[in-house]
Amino acid sequence: MRINFWYISSFVISLFVIIPILTVFSSFFESTSNYYQVLKDTFLMEYIFNSLILLVSVLLLTFLIGTGSAYLVSFYNFPFSNFFKWALILSFAVPPYIYAYSLTAFFENYGTAYTILKNLFGEGNYNQNIPKFDGLLGVVLSISFSLYAYVYILARASFLYQSQNIIDLGKNLGFTKFKAFYSIILPAARPAIVAGLSLVAMETLAEFGAVDFFSINTLTTGIYNSWIAFDDLAFANQLSFFLLLFIFALFILENLSRKNAKYHFNARSGFKQKQKIQLSGKKAFLAFFFCFLVLFLSFLFPLSQMMYWTIKFPENLFDLNTLDLLTNTLYLVILSSLMLIVFGLVSNYGNRVNKDKTLNILSTLSISGYAIPGVILAVAFITFIAWFDDSVVKNLGFISIKKVFIGSILGLVLVYFIRFYSLAYNGIKSGYEKINISVDESSYLLGYSKRKTFMNIHIPFLRNSLLFIGILVSLEIIRELPITLILRPFNFETFATTAYISASEDLLEAAAVPSLFLILIATFFIIVTSKYILRDNNE
């Protein structure tokens, strides 16, 4: 094994990301407080039950919405199908907690729904007839409509790469459209759909804002409480460890059920571009209606609710230091995304050129950060810095480094980096998987060094993927709540924290303005890059 620049870079990056993750796992062996006993005797079963129900419901709903809409826009032409193709990813702009604010604002007693009915039909006792989407149902809807786009994007990309040949084969075997979808198209897209669902699962179990807003007790709440109320970090970590085991078990099971089936397309056998089917009449209307409903519920509804409140209570707009919030948010986003893209890229390339087992294991471990709830990661980071400062830095006679990392932009960006590293790393990795290794070899044989191959061949090839990952990561950072809440410097606010603080003080109207800005910035990001996202998919 020849140690080179790429090996060392990749090694150091992975190691850095692993440290706080290891801190979480090492706490597993520490003794816990009485909280465990208290919880076991009281709410533990409720936490587990709620988490399970939440997870299963969200997975089911995101699967139906994400796969269904992806199927329609990938295989059929109907009115506005080209518009929906990118518009359906706009839901990314609305984080679950803002969706939760919108649901409450619309359906609560004397809320927006009531106002609409009153304006249409005059005064009346409508409150008892307006359904209430709060509690567990509210959380499920908030998370599902916000996160289905993960499944949508990945399923759509997979559908696009399906060759007309396999669809023709289905026709040749006499399959109906439903049968072809069920037995050919869906199984072929299975890995992509599962990848999307796994992201949804991790986000759901780590979700803090919406769960907290609707006061639902889940394992995540348990984790938060054990740290905040009982100061029992070890038990918090143990709970999150079980959470992780649960997710892993789910996906190992899925993996085993695949057995030896192969899902990737064999490029040598020839790819035939798909012909989209033109829908007309009732079918076209139904396809349009389904996509419009998804777009309306996931994006237009929360957007208009937040707009309505902003217009209704304009004083909140003037009370807010919008420019500061915008600068702070963008500052964090740009810094973190750049760092994630650059280091994710270097680490991937290091793994690719070295093909070293140790490096591979280290990288695999390093991407588990995404599955660890932000709360835990932030606390683990503080714990590690405190330990490092006390046991190493001070012993060596240096001044304390706590202030450099805790309550600072640097600390915040570093924890974002750890939290979203797997997103960047895996995203770039999937881009890399499209580059056959013989492309690298051809480049070497044309006299290009490893650095030149990286700069001149890989980066241009991955350009669109990188932009896509950059946007995905940016969206995550714009929406991120618990890490920002815990680690931000004093008096440093973003749109997300401002919205959260207002909502937790029961000032939902005030939360509308930062929420609206958050949605608008995220929407702008999505619109600007949507053509690249789609071009990346070979369209």
Structure tokens at 336: 């973190």
- Identify which range of 104-112, 318-326, 434-442, 477-485 contacts other proteins by CB under 8 A: 434-442
Of 115 and 456, CB closest to other proteins: 456
Three-class SS state of 266: coil
From the list 48-56, 321-329, 437-445, 523-531, the region that binds other proteins by CB under 8 A is 437-445
Nearer to other proteins, 289 or 444 (CB): 444
Can you point out the beta strands (E) in 143-272? none
- What single DSSP character describes residue 398? P
Residue 443, interface with other proteins (CB under 8 A)? yes
Q: Which is nearer to other proteins, 327 or 436 (CB)?
A: 436
Q: Which two tokens stand for residue 519?
A: 């949605």
**Nearest distance in Å: CB 301, other proteins:** 39
446 sits near other proteins (criterion: CB under 8 A): yes
- What is the rounded CA–CA span in Å between residue 211 and residue 194? 24
CB 309 within 8 Å of CB 105: yes
With respect to other proteins, which residue has the nearer C-beta, 317 or 457?
457
For other proteins, give the closer residue by CB, 277 or 439: 439
State which of positions 461-500 bind other proteins (CB under 8 A). 461
Q: Give the nearest distance from C-beta 355 to other proteins in angstroms.
A: 10
Which residues, at least 6 apart from 221, have a Cβ–Cβ distance to it below 8 Å? 47, 211, 212
Report, in Å, the least distance between residue 532 CB and other proteins. Answer: 13
Residue of 262, 447, 490, 491 that binds other proteins (CB under 8 A) = 447
**438, 490, 491, 506: which one binds other proteins (CB under 8 A):** 438
Comparing CA positions, the residue from 47, 46, 380, 416 lying closest to residue 220 is: 47
User: Smaller CB distance to other proteins: residue 236 or 353?
Assistant: 353
- Number of C-beta neighbours around residue 390 at 10 A: 12
Single residue of 64, 166, 250, 457 touching other proteins by CB under 8 A:
457
Long-range contacts of 112-119 (CB under 8 A, 24+ apart): 112/305, 112/308
Torsional class of 193: left (φ above 0), alpha (ψ -120 to 50), beta (otherwise): alpha
Could you give the CA distance from residue 421 to residue 534 in angstroms, rounded to a whole number?
23
- Contact assessment for residue 118 and residue 182, using Cβ atoms and an 8 Å cutoff: no
Per CB under 8 A, does 532 bind other proteins?
no
* Interface stretch with other proteins, choices 358-366, 372-380, 408-416, 457-465 (CB under 8 A): 457-465
Stretch that binds other proteins, among 190-198, 306-314, 324-332, 441-449 (CB under 8 A): 441-449
For the four alpha carbons of 160, 166, 169 and 174, in that order, the dihedral sign comes to negative
Q: Minimum CB separation from other proteins for residue 453, in Å?
A: 8
Q: Would you say 50 or 443 has its CB closer to other proteins? A: 443
- Cα separation, 22 vs 386, whole angstroms: 15
- Choosing from 131, 178, 445, 506, the residue that interacts with other proteins (CB under 8 A) is 445
Residue 292 contacts other proteins per CB under 8 A: no
Minimum distance, C-beta of residue 360 to other proteins, in the bound complex (Å)? 15
Beta carbon nearer to other proteins, 42 or 449 = 449
79 token code pair: 């009115």
Question: CB of 270: closest distance to other proteins in angstroms?
Answer: 8
- Of 253 and 445, which CB lies nearer to other proteins in the complex structure? 445
Residue from 293, 439, 507, 528 binding other proteins (CB under 8 A):
439
- Toward other proteins, which CB reaches closer, 116 or 439? 439
Nearest approach in angstroms of CB 442 to other proteins is: 5
Quick check: 266 binds other proteins (CB under 8 A)?
no
The C-alpha angle 281, 283, 287, rounded to 5 degrees, equals: 120
Sign (positive or negative) of CA dihedral 240, 379, 364, 339? positive
Distance CA(151)–CA(149), nearest Å, equals 5
- How many C-beta atoms surround the C-beta of residue 167 within 10 A? 21
Task: Report the distance separating Cα 35 and Cα 47, nearest Å.
Answer: 14
Is 178 exposed, middle or buried, given 0-12, 13-18 or 19+ CB atoms closer than 10 A?
exposed
Q: Closest CB to other proteins among 220 and 453?
A: 453
C-alpha closest to that of 479 among 149, 95, 208: 95
Site of interaction with other proteins (CB under 8 A): 268, 271, 434-436, 438-439, 441-449, 457, 460-461
